[in-house]
């Protein structure tokens, strides 16, 4: 395990500055790699990039979208879910609201908002979408497009327990502090690839969720 050293003031960014930077840096342009298997999402890790190339040749890509709901408290938080224990895929893991993009969805943003309503009952009237992050590829063939959104406090959640066991908030300052970003490695067909983990209290945030949070840090919190 490698801990990523702290960057200057990265975790001390104010709520106003965070959202201002996000609006300046993010757009709603859908990356072609979301649907094109010939275009491989770049991860910054050579082992992961090679894994994604192999996965794209061997199985159909699975386009998906998630919502990154940043709740605008005085000290902002990120709203996360814990998947139900009985699910066939990623049971019990920490996740963002989201899922596969349906043909009836108008856009990846529409997917993220629909899934957030279906999974946890987050009403769209509380959600102010800001833009898409970069594409995140997984070893299961998913191409995940995250939507960052500002969420007004005061919402009431209604969990769909067939999919979600719990919903909880983590301080944005904790998740955007690189001192809390652990870098681990695992083997994929004889190659070493890296992944992030961000343990918080009794919650173990890792894999795609931690990788997307690291993307958020790199896009918004780094100068």
**Residue 148's domain spans which residues?**
14-173+206-221
- pLDDT at 87 (0 to 100): 56
CA distance 34 to 52: 13
Q: Is residue 6 part of a domain?
A: no
- Length of the chain equals 223
Q: Which of 81-95, 134-148, 167-181 has the lowest mean pLDDT?
A: 81-95
Cα separations (Å) of 196 from 3, 14, 169, 183, 214? Answer: 10, 24, 19, 5, 8
CA-based nearest residue to 216, from 69, 1, 3? 69
- pLDDT higher than threshold 50 for residue 206: yes
| Structural domains of the chain, count | 1
Q: Where are the beta strands (DSSP E) in the chain?
A: 2-3, 62-71, 77-83, 94-95, 98-100, 127-132, 136-137, 142-151, 164-171, 182-188, 191-197
Structure-block tokens of residue 73 = 């408290």
Q: What is the pLDDT of residues 111-134, one digit of tens each?
A: 999 999 999 999 999 999 999 999
Does the predicted TM-score (pTM) go above 0.85?
yes
- pLDDT higher than threshold 60 for residue 32: yes
Q: Is residue 151 part of a domain?
A: yes
Q: Is residue 70 part of a domain?
A: yes
Q: Is residue 138 part of a domain?
A: yes
Q: What is the pLDDT of residues 37-52, one digit of tens each?
A: 999 998 888 889 889 9
H/E stretch holding 52: helix 46-58
- pLDDT at 188 (0 to 100): 80
Contact 54, 162 (CB under 8 A): no
- In this structure, the dihedral spanned by the alpha carbons of residues 40, 42, 44 and 46, taken in order and rounded to 10 degrees, is 10
Q: Is residue 19 part of a domain?
A: yes
Q: Is residue 9 part of a domain?
A: no
Residue 8 — pLDDT band, cuts 50, 70, 90?
very low
CATH number at residue 165: 3.90.79.10
Q: Is residue 96 part of a domain?
A: yes
CB-based contacts of 29, cutoff 8 Å, min separation 6: 132
Q: Is residue 189 part of a domain?
A: no
Q: What is the mean pLDDT of the chain?
A: 90
């Amino acid at each position: 395990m490698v801990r990523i050293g702290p960057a200057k003031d990265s975790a001390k960014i104010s709520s106003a500055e965070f959202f201002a930077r996000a609006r300046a840096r993010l757009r709603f342009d859908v990356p072609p790699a979301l649907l094109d298997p010939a275009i491989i999402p770049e991860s910054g890790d050579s082992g992961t990039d090679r894994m994604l190339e192999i996965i794209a040749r061997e199985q159909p890509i699975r386009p998906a979208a998630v919502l990154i709901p940043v709740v605008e408290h005085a000290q902002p938080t990120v709203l996360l879910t814990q998947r139900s224990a009985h699910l066939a895929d990623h049971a019990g893991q920490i996740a963002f609201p989201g899922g596969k993009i349906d043909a009836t969805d108008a856009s990846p943003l529409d997917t993220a908002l629909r899934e957030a309503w279906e999974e946890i009952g987050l009403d769209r009237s509380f959600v102010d979408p800001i833009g898409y992050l970069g594409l995140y590829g997984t070893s299961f063939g998913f191409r995940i497009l995250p939507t960052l959104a500002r969420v007004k406090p005061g919402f009431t959640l209604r969990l769909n327990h067939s999919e979600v066991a719990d919903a909880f908030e983590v301080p944005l300052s904790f998740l955007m502090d690189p001192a809390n970003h652990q870098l681990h490695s695992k083997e994929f067909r004889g190659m070493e690839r890296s992944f992030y983990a961000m343990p918080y209290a009794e919650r173990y945030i890792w894999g795609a969720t931690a990788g997307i949070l690291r993307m958020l840090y790199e896009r918004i919190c780094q100068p």
